[in-house]
Amino acid sequence: MTRNLFDRAPDDQYRILDTDGRVVDGASVPDLSDEEFVELYEYMKLARHFDQRAVSLQRQGRMGTYPPLSGQEGAQVGSALALRDEDWLIPSYREHAAALVHGQPLKDTLLYWMGNEAGSEIPEDVNVFTPAVPIASQIPHATGLAWAAKLKGDDAAFLGYFGDGATSEGDFHEGLNFAGVFNTPNVFFCNNNQWAISVPRERQTAAKTIAQKATAYGFEGIQIDGMDPLAVYKATTEALEKARNPQEGEMRPTLIEAVQYRFGAHTTADDPTVYREEGEVEEWKAKDPIPRLEKFLRNTGRLDDERVADIETAVEERVADAIADAESEPRPEPSEIFDNVYAEKPPRLQEQEEWFEQVREKYGDDAMLED
Amino acid sequence: MSDTQNLTLVQAVRDGLRGELARDDDVVVMGEDVGKNGGVFRATDDLYEEFGDDRVIDTPLAESGIIGTAVGMAAYGMKPVPEMQFSGFMYPAFDQIVSHVARLRNRSRGRYSVPMTIRAPYGGGIRAPEHHSESKEAFYTHEAGLKVVIPSTPYDTKGLLASAIRDPDPVVFLEPKKIYRSFRQEVPDETYTVPIGEAAVRREGADISVFCWGAMTRPTLEAAENLEGEIDVEVVDLRTMSPMDTETVVESFKKTGRAAVVHEAPQTAGLGAEIAATIQEEALLHQEAPVKRITGFDTPFPLYALEDYYLPEPARITEGIREAVEF
């Protein structure tokens, strides 16, 4: 027997809240406490504000190229909140909010995009994998991590993210195919944000949905409204539960296609006005996950003006603190270039480092650094 | 005293895998045909029966999938030993190897590492079809974060493979398939290691140092025999391409003042160039003649009717050594 949620056609998009924040007919809201509902909202507000500040820092030359996430807060926060601490999160390069929810410090995310090696360090007790820039290459890693856990008898589940463009890559196929063959505890979460830089979803695949691709691998796929945080939370929770404890005859892996929109550019180096119409952006902004959840929370008495104002103040302070922390981090030592290449530094690498340090000492850092 | 068996190189691979599978539960052998079939070269024969399909795993036919999932397994604390059926088929996995296998330790500042050993039969000389005979050790040697090992004897094969599997870093372990079965050597039954990063002087000589590895070691030794009484040839088998034992290379060169490098890979940007440059940097004042490169040609590896002409054989090696000495 399969879980009811996944017993639907791949194009029967799962949704709990309509765009006005009302529960749609026949849907039931997730079993969360009032505080948990508000936490979901707080994280989304935090993610939006962080994103806006990060783009602004890049414009001011205080940060390198940065991939914005606005529009995807519902998908990222809703899915990551479904994880337990022992579960793993395998991001692409845009899941700043999801990683934050699973314990990755904001400061580290800032440092990484500021080009500081210190930002690559994931705390030991946080099960977040290193972000992957080459498209889809993290999908087989997610399968391998889950496979190893299964072989070792651990009951963690593994939530891996990628975009719609990634589904065109061989690694998408190979990762999902292995997951099906070895029945690994994976949830594959496609942030279908409609565009892979400038190439639209229709140019990635002739398939009607991305969710239906799961059928080819022998497990369930479901399309959800990725801008409905409650639907995201519910679907991811059930998929993770299925990964950990499949019922008789159930396959562990699930492919979730979360239909959503990237409001901004692919990265700060990209200009989306070249390839998409403003009207399209406006249409999707009407589905913005944040006001949508806010309306639901206000309508159900979980949120009022005062609480919203408190949350906004707290979010601004938290982001400002993280930026101040990241910007006060000293420039990394050049020795960090040579560290962590091998467990033990080979003689040649040691020689290169020693020679470099001699030159540096002789000429000074000013001679080596661009203004 | 430990017992020994008289093994071929491919049997030493199997014996080495068996020893490490028995020694460490985190070791898994994985790849296309490695299970029930025992591998296309029988390198994993009977291991499936002995250790079961959770340890010796037949995977889907997908090089990127095999290496990519092995990255995840390794990061989770296992020690995967993926087999690429032929090194000429490794390219679909090249992105995973250079983007992730080699870099994950660095990309995560040491939080995650990839203690993986990628085994691949490599090189020509077995009358194989197209794409089955390439020697691309330079690709992997060029990549920071990887170690690259090429054994030339059964004894070294078992010991180096054990070192590779126990190594905390990823190792590309290229097996010279031309000599998989061409000779035997006494190999201890028990497990042992041969250190990665140490070259072996196979023959002492005073007139010229010839550097080689893998399947080229035997024809190089044969050429040295041919020249007996005329030129006194030292033969150094590098065994590890990365990290290279430049100390032994330079010491040998300082003694002889002349050098040749023999490899089956194409000449341009091959490891012969690296060795010649190392000699220039470290021992120029001992140099009596240019370093001679005796290599495969800068062409695609030919179909098998011409492969004997492509591969450096004793005549070409003999002549190359003469030229280097008579400069």
Residues of A in contact with B60 (CB under 8 A): 174, 177-178, 181
What was the pLDDT predicted at B1? 57
Nearest residue of chain B to residue A142 (CA atoms): B72
Mutate to test the interface with B, among A108, A130, A338 (most CBs of B within 10 A): A130
Query: What gap in Å lies between CA A169 and CA A28, rounded to an integer?
Result: 36
Q: What is the ipTM of this complex?
A: 0.94
What was the pLDDT predicted at A240? 98
3-state secondary structure A244-256: HCCCCCCCCCEEE
* A199 min Cα distance to partner chain B (Å): 23
> For residue B194, is it within any domain?
no
Q: Looking at the structure, tell me whether residues B264 and B291 fall in a common domain.
A: yes
Note the pLDDT tens digit of each residue in B2-40. 799 999 999 999 999 999 999 999 999 999 999 999 999
Query: What gap in Å lies between CA A246 and CA B179, rounded to an integer?
Result: 49
> For residue B266, is it within any domain?
yes
Q: Longest C-alpha distance within chain B, in Å?
A: 59
Mutate to test the interface with B, among A154, A159, A342, A355 (most CBs of B within 10 A): A342
Q: Looking at the structure, tell me whether residues B170 and B207 fall in a common domain.
A: no
CB contact under 8 A, A174 and B68: yes
Q: Looking at the structure, tell me whether residues B143 and B221 fall in a common domain.
A: no
Question: What domain range includes position B60?
Answer: 4-188
Q: In 3D, which of A277, A247, A264 has the Cα closest to residue A67? A: A264
CB contact under 8 A, A171 and B68: yes
Interface size, chain A vs chain B, as Cβ–Cβ contacts under 8 Å:
133
Last residue of a domain, one of B161, B188, B215: B188
Q: Looking at the structure, tell me whether residues B171 and B226 fall in a common domain.
A: no
**Confidence check: pLDDT of A1 > 80:** no
Note the pLDDT tens digit of each residue in B247-290. 999 999 999 999 999 999 999 999 999 999 999 999 999 999 99
What was the pLDDT predicted at A370? 86
What was the pLDDT predicted at A275? 96
Encode burial over A84-111: b for 16+ CB neighbours within 10 A, e otherwise: eeebbbbbbbbbbbbbbbbbbbbbbbbb
- CATH number, domain of B146, equals 3.40.50.970
CB contact under 8 A, B112 and A149: no
End-to-end CA distance of chain A: 65
> For residue B41, is it within any domain?
yes
Query: What gap in Å lies between CA A28 and CA A16, rounded to an integer?
Result: 7
Q: Looking at the structure, tell me whether residues B236 and B171 fall in a common domain.
A: no
Q: Which two tokens stand for residue A68?
A: 């914005």
Q: In 3D, which of B66, B237, B139, B178 has the Cα closest to residue B148? A: B139
B71: nearest CB among A140, A149, A152: A140
Neighbours of B115 (CB within 10 A): 22
Residues 6+ apart with CB under 8 A from A357: A334, A335
Nearest residue of chain A to residue B167 (CA atoms): A343
What was the pLDDT predicted at B125? 96
Q: Looking at the structure, tell me whether residues B129 and B232 fall in a common domain.
A: no
CB contact under 8 A, A117 and B112: no
- CATH number, domain of B269, equals 3.40.50.920
Encode burial over A358-370: b for 16+ CB neighbours within 10 A, e otherwise: eeeeeeeeeeeee
Q: Does A174 touch chain B (CB under 8 A)?
A: yes
Residues of A in contact with B106 (CB under 8 A): 340-341
DSSP 3-state assignment of B117? strand
Q: Looking at the structure, tell me whether residues B270 and B150 fall in a common domain.
A: no
CB contact under 8 A, A140 and B72: yes
Mutate to test the interface with A, among B111, B114, B247, B250 (most CBs of A within 10 A): B111
Last residue of a domain, one of B129, B159, B188: B188
Residues of A in contact with B98 (CB under 8 A): none
B312, B294 Cβ separation under 8 angstroms: yes
Q: Looking at the structure, tell me whether residues B31 and B171 fall in a common domain.
A: yes
Q: In 3D, which of B211, B205, B227 has the Cα closest to residue B318? A: B227
Mean pLDDT of B163-178: 98
> For residue B193, is it within any domain?
no
Q: Looking at the structure, tell me whether residues B97 and B206 fall in a common domain.
A: no
B217, A321 Cβ separation under 8 angstroms: no
What is chain A's mean pLDDT, rounded?
Answer: 96
What was the pLDDT predicted at A3? 73
CB contact under 8 A, B62 and A174: yes
Inter-helix orientation angle B217-226/B314-326, to 10°: 60
Considering chain B, what percentage of its residues have pLDDT values greater than 90? 99
* B250 min Cα distance to partner chain A (Å): 13
Count: domains in chain B: 2
Last residue of a domain, one of B143, B167, B188: B188
Mean pLDDT of B135-158: 98
Mean pLDDT of B240-250: 98
CB contact under 8 A, A140 and B106: no
What was the pLDDT predicted at A2? 54
**HSE-up (13 A, CA, CB side) for residue A32:** 22
Mean pLDDT of A188-202: 97
Note the pLDDT tens digit of each residue in A90-140. 999 999 999 999 999 999 999 999 999 899 999 999 999 999 999 999 999
Q: Looking at the structure, tell me whether residues B182 and B312 fall in a common domain.
A: no
**Confidence check: pLDDT of B122 > 90:** yes
> For residue B143, is it within any domain?
yes
The residues facing A223 across adjacent strands are A257
Q: Looking at the structure, tell me whether residues B138 and B84 fall in a common domain.
A: yes
Q: Which two tokens stand for residue B168?
A: 């905390």
What was the pLDDT predicted at A371? 74
Q: Looking at the structure, tell me whether residues B181 and B247 fall in a common domain.
A: no
> For residue B237, is it within any domain?
yes
